[in-house]
Amino acid sequence: MIVLAGCCIAVISFGPRSAMGVFQMPVLNTFGWGSAAFSVALAIQNLLWGAFQPFSGALADRYGSLRVLMVGALFYAAGLILMAWSSTPLAFDLTAGALIGVGLSGSSFNLVLGAFGKLVPPEKQPMAFGLGSAAGSFGQFLFSPLAGGLIAAYGWQTTVILFGCVTLAIVPLSLAVASPPAPVATDTRGGQSSLAALRAAMSDRSYVLLVLGFYTCGFQLAFVTVHFQKYVIESGLPASTGYWAFALVGMFNVIGSLSAGWLSQRMPRRYILSAIYLARSASTILFILLPPSTAGVYLFGMITGLLWLSTVPPTNSIIVQLFGARHFAMLSGFAFFSHQVGGFCGVLIGGYAREMFGSYTIAWAISIALGVFSALVNLPIVERPARAAAEATA
């Protein structure tokens, strides 16, 4: 029941957010904005999601996940519904950007994975992380074509209102993944504050390398989420090709996330992460060099899906292995902040590159270079309990 409810939350929370790229062209056509206006709002969303994630994680670690998930869902729903009346860039920044970003920090699959880290036995955690990540991907598979169909039939304003109502289902589902509040500890490690735990983590070389590598993941995912479908349309292909390709990303990520969770129980996670980042760069090079075609877009969607959230199970498994479960939600949240700073840069650079140079070529090139960087950064990670954690336990 814990895993099932958590996976349902992941589907609902990840779905509307991952479909934001489908809304870009309808919103721009409605208000006559340029790509930069939409990109700024989505960049704010990614940044605030990441900035508030460590705090949401720390609150969930301290007081349990229930209240955090409920409040986050209310913010998320409010942002989606109010998007329909956001007719100025500033209003759009506040709703699609700030409200949704803060809401996601408290209701996304990151909080679900944090609850799994406390409620699921350690030997089953990598697979649970894989299931949670795969569920988020299924939300992407479900909501991307759903958004395209609903927008075509009823308009984008009605669609975001419907999506906002759907996100309210997170409130009752959160009852099943309510992690217990932190007990009043009697040992040194249990009494370690969140700030002390973060300081210990930031003094650990492996954790720092992991966080640096996760920046690339955010850059690549957010750039593709927001700009991929516009890139497809500008390549001369139908809009339906873009949102069905993005649905394929979600479907194949189910396979990728589960495979990454399974492999994380059987081989060094740093090698898995390095291979994922390198494969992303290689697939992107092929995609932008080959002539635009429906088959090529679908193939890129499938390959990207296999690599999409497959970084999450090995990343979270390494964090648990380094520092244990006590401050897991907060430490994984801080790593996710790095991810979302990357997302902020990916969305913003993509939008401004398109407006200034007339194409996404520069943004694609940066994405490729960052993939190679993270492939190298993850290799020196040492997968054993961190020295600070070991000393606290002693």
Work out the burial of residue 175: count CB atoms within 10 Å of its CB; fewer than 13 is exposed, 13-18 middle, 19 or more buried. exposed
Query: Is 183 part of any domain?
Result: no
Other C-beta atoms within 10 Å of 18: how many? 25
User: Is the pLDDT score of 326 beyond 80?
Assistant: no
* Contact criterion met (CB below 8 Å) for 197 and 327: yes
SS3 letters across 163-220: HHHHHCCHHHHHHHHCCCCCCCCCCCCCCCCHHHHHHHHHCCHHHHHHHHHHHHHHHH
Average pLDDT, the chain: 86
Say yes or no to pLDDT of 35 above 50.
Answer: yes
What's the pTM value of the predicted model, to 2 decimals? 0.76
Tell me the pLDDT tens digit for each residue of 281-293: 999 999 999 998 9
User: Per-residue confidence at 46, pLDDT binned at 50, 70, 90?
Assistant: confident
> Would you say residue 186 lies in a domain?
no
The pLDDT tens digits for 168-193 are: 999 999 888 887 776 654 444 445 56
What does the pLDDT look like over 258-268, one tens digit per residue?
888 888 888 89
| Residue 374 included in any domain | yes
| Counted domains in the chain | 1
What is the distance between the alpha carbons of residues 394 and 381, in angstroms, rounded to a whole number?
A: 23
CATH number for 74: 1.20.1250.20
pLDDT of residue 393: 47
More confident residue, 326 or 72: 72
When pLDDT is averaged across residues 97-109 and rounded to a whole number, the result is: 90
What gap in Å lies between CA 85 and CA 153, rounded to an integer?
19
Residues 186, 299: Cα–Cα separation, whole Å: 55
Which residues span the domain enclosing 346? 2-178+193-393
Residues near 385 by Cβ (< 8 Å), separated by ≥ 6?
321, 322, 323, 324, 393
Q: In this structure, is residue 185 part of a structural domain?
A: no
Classify residue 295: in a domain, yes or no. Answer: yes
Task: Identify the sign of the CA torsion 249, 370, 311, 76.
Answer: negative
CB atoms < 10 A from the CB of 149, how many?
A: 14
Residue 214 confidence (pLDDT): 92
In a domain, 209, yes or no: yes
Residue 330 has pLDDT above 80, yes or no: no
**pLDDT single digits (tens) 13-28:** 988 988 888 898 899 8
Q: What is the largest CA-CA distance in the chain?
A: 64
**Range among 51-55, 95-99, 138-142, 357-361 with highest mean pLDDT value:** 95-99
Establish if 33 belongs to a structural domain. yes
For position 90, what pLDDT does the model report?
Answer: 94
Does some domain include residue 188? no
